[in-house]
Structure 1
Amino acid sequence: MANRLAGATSPYLLQHRDNPVDWWPWCDEAFEEARRRDVPVLISVGYSACHWCHVMAHESFEDAAVAEQLNRDFVAIKVDREERPDVDAVYMTATQAMTGQGGWPMTVFATPGGDPFFCGTYFPQQQFSRLLTSVAEAWRDEREGVLAQGAAVVQAVGGAQLVGGPTAAITGEMLAAATAGLSEDHDETYGGFGGAPKFPPHMNLLFLLRHHERTGSPEALELVRHTCEQMARGGVYDQLAGGFARYAVDAHWTVPHFEKMLYDNALLLRVYTQLWRLTGDELARRVADETATFLLRDLGTPAGGLASALDADTDGVEGLTYAWTPAQLTAALGVADSAWAADLFRVTTAGTFEHGSSVLVLGRDIDAADPVLITRWQDVRARLLAARDRRPQPGRDDKVVASWNGLAITALAEHGVLTGSSASRSAAVELAEVLADRHVVEGRLRRVSRDGTAGDPAGVLEDYGCVAEAFLAVHQVTADPRWLRSAGELLDVVLAHFGTASGGFYDTADDAEKLLTRPADPTDNATPSGLASVCSALVGYAALSGETSYRLAADAALATVGPLIEGHPRFAGYAAMVAEAAVTGPYEIAVATHDPDDPLVATAYRESPAGTVVVVGAPDSPGVPLLADRPLIDGRATAYVCRGFVCDRPVTTPEDLVARLKQ
């Protein structure tokens, strides 16, 4: 037995390095070994924060008898879906084609050539052991049928990944239809869309906020406000430390699946920041501030960059760190404060979770006008968090994923400029420097790094899109031409190596490792689709640089998902968000000033519609196209407002800037 995972960079793979299973990482050598031995391949795909991945590992992969079966009859390959989203996408399509559903852990049996012939997700130990026996026997005794089934699955996967479907240029009517579709799916009681399990719909919320800004739709804003309030009061939001869990197992946001993912919190930071900007809602502002703090405090890594996730489990028990009983509240707070906290957080003897424990929810409002009450609230939260910190803590996946850090950079930059948080603003710049210095290697992106070292997997489309977006956000924060230039270089790679004949994009480059099929999924999943994130960067880059060819590329790519936006908006929220900016113009605002604290600067950030590009800097700053030929008027800070590369006369007062943006 020779488990080959000890040298992996992925924390998920390292979790399996001591298994008795003879694991291989994803590599050509593993498939060559299967050919040499003439045995099928088991491809097991998961991620470190996945609860059921841990269960299957404990039940099966740590079991000596199961390992003996696997080692004798198969070549076993372990894949971190977050490190290799391209591999995951191909085999998830196969799993969904065969079973009608997907999820993780994903369990795929394939030929030595990588063709899947049987797929599933989690299997209990006895069922998995029987499955291993059946697959081995079928491979030995019914080889022709197995190969035929594999060929059929490959054909189905190839059909599912075809590109070049119907296109439709984005229109305002299309975006109105998307809003109507989301409204029909809206849960009027608890917010969100659909039923349990319920995931924070951050990308749809970002779209609805922009739709409200463009059209004035009160319905679009109310969908966001209601959903954000319900999530913020629920157990899916960490009422003590901030940050959101991956999803709620119920329809009312009470009991979460406890892992906290970087990408969810980055996107939700944008949602709550923008909701506060538009409404002044203090709950939204508090949640935005606490989420930004959570990102930097709990996910920051010593080598720079933000970690991927906090685990769902602690010591193999889901929710162990987070749930409370009335007795535990009393031990932490004393009798009087624990009774008050139990009422506030809805902690009961019956419990809302397991074994009589409860997940903390915010059951009622705290009167912000009562300083005594606010002080008590802050004191109780701090004491409960201190007590919780003394408990065993969930594991942390500390690999740095390029695209997810890109999402966080954009969110922190927005939070920084809108709220005045210097911590968020500085963190955005520092994180961008980590990506630029570590993840950009010879002009191409690497997807992951760990402990300061970049891993081998090449960046996929979402990495290029999200990192380019991030660099553009930092360019706007700093007026440093380096970031605009770096974003343009990444987008040039996309246009040269990822494009399809229809104007869309593949998820992998034309010179990337060849897989069963070349994935090209235009739909949002847990994160924005690669196509949507690239379109966002293309629209922003064109507005900041004045290079219209990038805008034309964005319009062509958005047209490939136009029917998806109109007919299935829940799966195209980020593309719809970008489309709103494209339909709006977007606005391009240059504020020429030597004083970054001039009131005109804050007005430009606070009052310009989401999707607007804003650059603040000295007149005629070298390498900053939006500030070229932008002199001060009468020696005062001066705002230049353009839209679709057409500019109005400059203004020098906040009142005139607001009036110009409302025209």
Structure 2
Amino acid sequence: MSNRLADATSPYLLQHADNPVDWRPWGEEAFAEARRRDVPVLLSVGYAACHWCHVMAHESFEDPATAERMNDGFVNVKVDREERPDVDAVYMEAVQAMTGQGGWPMTAFLTPDGAPFYCGTYFPRDHFNRLLEAVARVWREERDGVLDQGRRVVDALAAPRTLGEGQLPGAEEAAAAVEGLARDFDARRGGFGGAPKFPPSMLFTFLLAHHRRTGDERALLMARTTAEAMARGGIHDQIGGGFARYSVDADWTVPHFEKMLYDNALLLRAYLRLWRETGDVLARRTALGIADWMVTDLLTSEGGFASALDADSEGEEGRYYVWSPAELERVLGPEDGAWAAGVFGVTDEGTFEHGTSVLRLPEDPDDPERFERVRRALLAERARRVPPARDDKVVAAWNGLAVAALAEAGALLDRPDLVERARTAARLLADLHMDGGRIARTSRDGAVGASAGVLEDYADAAEGFLALFSVTGEQEWTAAAGRLLDTVLDRFTDASGAFYDTADDAEALINRPQDPTDNAVPSGRFAAAGALLTYSGLTGSQRHRRAAESALGPVVPLAAKAPRFAGWGLAVTETLLSGPLEVAVVGPGGEGAEITRELHRTALMTAPFGTAVAPGDGGAPDDPEDAPVPLLAGRPLIGGGAAAYVCRGFTCDLPVRDAVSLQERLTP
């Protein structure tokens, strides 16, 4: 028997469609039913690749006795946090306020008006059943206290907060952030803080940009040490490419095995930038592996990228990825099996569970050809295993990150196929998700979802479009980004310059979410700052420039107190401190295109993070008002040949005609 989730498009909700729990999707209908029955709402929030969500589902939501208790005492609502990040953000703030921590699955008990009065995360079945009984009893016998608690929580969440409005971060904040990160840095193992350790992709970008501007060797050391430790650790899939969500230990050995699109898109750009800045061979190889994994394992039939791969397969976490010495010998033979065990750190004791090990690569093997042969054999054998489930919904924000990463990877690594993948995904966003200047958050199987885009969807999709333009010169992508960013300014900000995570005409929740901090992905606010700044560099729009600077206000308090939660904002701050620069590259196609391509690639390889790069054919109109990309207006070919113009605020140096001169102009 199916419940009310049977018609959902979310893979996570569909996982629960056959539970004996009478689940309802989020919506007014559920709250109206709670008012009619005079019972609380039990809100359960998770996502398809969440291991502990699966555990709680198996223990409690599939158990008939527990389900009966839930159905008798509550209206039960299931939410996919990836589909409704606004709902997740509002109630996760309540969870953190009540318990001091958060996580998924999120479990919250609400009044029929949506006010949370008791919250938590994962509960084992016995504990959960006792909790259900206790909450139902308190609701019946101590109703006034419950309602008062809910009102106090709502009032606390709605209290005005200072987010650094009116402040513009500068060199002092960037330096303070580096000092704070240095105090948290694990010099021996890389990363920041202790276990668990998450990939600090946004901090990589900031630290590399800071090193480039200032020459601060500590910044480069922190980024490079962490990047190498991660690339050689178990968090990195050594035979298939891509990274897991996080490491449960401080050594990057044992991952939480789910693999997310957003992590890998961000890490692809970070490793590309590390290779670009240092020539690091491991960084280049790691970036290529990420890009190929994204295309191989996450590409959907519509040309977008799926959200995630599950941590579990055949009911066990990590089973798809781990190996024993005996398995290696069976697949590779005694000689190669023993050699592979040494190369990948596979031991009889194991580094994971039941005598199995997660593959690591402590150092490069001395026989690359043998390594590649062994890697391919293990990958082929692994393909015979039952793979983890895939959450194949397309999320606009994360596909925007993927478009940017793959476009840059294709251009810098001479992989035009990756640029084409980026273009196809961008086309899906523009044609399916977008309607004018509005964007829907999700689609699946070519059908757009009902969830409205949040700030990160607008900002990250715009970022992807702008990166694709900088690689291809196709001006339609700048126009698409402009439509999204105009909506950001019209619908996601207020008169004070504050940014919100939901539009002013979005569904009203108990609080309008407004989180400026980076977490697994750049905050919507900091992502908007970067896209707005790039767009202003291409178009000369001072409205977008002012909005970008306003969006960076929270960097000022965060840089000193919590820089690990402001990496993208700090990286965009470095863009401001480096100029920001604009580079127009104009040149003929056809026979004369070789120098044009060389100048264009030099600009992409050499310019500081966030530089607005505009390639064109020199045929743009003289009047900037008539140009789709005004930075290209009035940039003639020099003697009929290619030229590059390096500009700050549309004030340009004399054009250069060769890659060496351009590199000198762009290098501090």
- TM tier relative to shorter chain: over 0.9
| Contact 1:42 1:77 (8 Å CA) reproduced | yes
Q: 2:262 — aligned with what? A: 263
> Aligned partners of 1:503, 1:90: CA distance in 2, in Å?
21
Q: 2:180 — aligned with what? A: 181
**Counterpart amino acid of residue 72 in structure 1:** D
Cα offset for 1:165?
4.8
Match of 2:98, SS state, is helix
Match of 1:82, SS state, is coil
Q: 1:120 — aligned with what? A: 120
Q: Which shifted more, 123-132 or 210-219?
A: 210-219
Q: 1:220 — aligned with what? A: 219
Q: 2:535 — aligned with what? A: 541
Per-residue CA distance 1:349-369 (angstroms, 9 max, x = gap): 0000001100000022224xx
Match of 2:72, SS state, is helix
Q: 2:624 — aligned with what? A: none
Q: 1:200 — aligned with what? A: 199
**TM-score under structure 2 length normalisation:** 0.97
Q: Which shifted more, 455-464 or 437-446?
A: 437-446
> Aligned partners of 2:163, 2:79: CA distance in 1, in Å?
30
Q: 2:570 — aligned with what? A: 576
Cα offset for 1:212?
1.1
> Aligned partners of 1:563, 1:594: CA distance in 2, in Å?
48
> Aligned partners of 2:436, 2:647: CA distance in 1, in Å?
35
Q: 1:370 — aligned with what? A: none
**Counterpart amino acid of residue 392 in structure 2:** D
- How does 1:585-596 map onto structure 2 within 5 Å? 585-595=579-589, 596=593
| Contact 1:97 1:156 (8 Å CA) reproduced | no
Match of 2:646, SS state, is strand
Q: 2:452 — aligned with what? A: 458
Per-residue CA distance 1:150-191 (angstroms, 9 max, x = gap): 1111122223x7355565321112111111111111100110
- How does 1:12-51 map onto structure 2 within 5 Å? 12-51=12-51
**Counterpart amino acid of residue 422 in structure 1:** P
Match of 1:600, SS state, is helix
Q: 2:340 — aligned with what? A: 341
Match of 2:619, SS state, is coil
Cα offset for 1:45?
0.3
Residue 478 of structure 2, aligned match among 477, 484, 496: 484
Cα offset for 1:644?
2.7
| Contact 2:240 2:289 (8 Å CA) reproduced | yes
The reply on whether 1:507 has 2:501 as its aligned counterpart is yes
**Counterpart amino acid of residue 570 in structure 1:** R
- How does 1:134-533 map onto structure 2 within 5 Å? 134-159=134-159, 162-163=161-162, 165=164, 167-367=166-366, 373-533=367-527
Per-residue CA distance 1:473-520 (angstroms, 9 max, x = gap): 112122222111111111111111111343220100110000010000
**Counterpart amino acid of residue 168 in structure 2:** A
Unpaired stretches in structure 2, ≥5 consecutive residues? 621-626
> Aligned partners of 2:513, 2:168: CA distance in 1, in Å?
23
> Aligned partners of 2:667, 2:388: CA distance in 1, in Å?
48
Q: 1:658 — aligned with what? A: 663
| Contact 2:440 2:449 (8 Å CA) reproduced | yes
> Aligned partners of 1:133, 1:250: CA distance in 2, in Å?
37
Share of identical aligned residues, percent? 59
**Counterpart amino acid of residue 498 in structure 1:** F
> Aligned partners of 1:66, 1:32: CA distance in 2, in Å?
23
- Cα distance change of structure 1 residues 4 and 270 upon mapping to structure 2, 3 Å threshold: same
Q: Which shifted more, 647-656 or 76-85?
A: 647-656
| Contact 2:34 2:40 (8 Å CA) reproduced | yes
Q: 1:628 — aligned with what? A: 633
> Aligned partners of 1:502, 1:184: CA distance in 2, in Å?
35
Residue 648 of structure 2, aligned match among 637, 640, 643: 643
Per-residue CA distance 1:214-268 (angstroms, 9 max, x = gap): 1122221111111000000000000000000000000000000000000000000
Match of 1:301, SS state, is coil
Q: 1:562 — aligned with what? A: 556
**Counterpart amino acid of residue 345 in structure 1:** F
> Aligned partners of 2:667, 2:124: CA distance in 1, in Å?
60
> Aligned partners of 1:614, 1:21: CA distance in 2, in Å?
53
| Contact 1:258 1:313 (8 Å CA) reproduced | yes
- How does 1:70-89 map onto structure 2 within 5 Å? 70-89=70-89
Q: Which shifted more, 532-541 or 146-155?
A: 146-155
Instruction: Provide the aligned C-alpha RMSD in A.
Output: 1.3
- How does 1:53-132 map onto structure 2 within 5 Å? 53-132=53-132
Match of 2:109, SS state, is strand
Match of 1:559, SS state, is coil
> Aligned partners of 1:359, 1:649: CA distance in 2, in Å?
55
Cα offset for 1:662?
3.1
Match of 1:20, SS state, is coil
Match of 2:370, SS state, is helix
**Counterpart amino acid of residue 47 in structure 1:** Y
Q: Which shifted more, 299-308 or 251-260?
A: 299-308
How many residues are matched? 657
Match of 2:227, SS state, is helix
**Counterpart amino acid of residue 551 in structure 1:** R
| Contact 1:344 1:362 (8 Å CA) reproduced | yes
Q: Which shifted more, 599-608 or 287-296?
A: 599-608
| Contact 2:20 2:61 (8 Å CA) reproduced | yes
> Aligned partners of 2:109, 2:37: CA distance in 1, in Å?
16
Cα offset for 1:659?
2.0
> Aligned partners of 1:546, 1:416: CA distance in 2, in Å?
28
**Counterpart amino acid of residue 213 in structure 1:** R
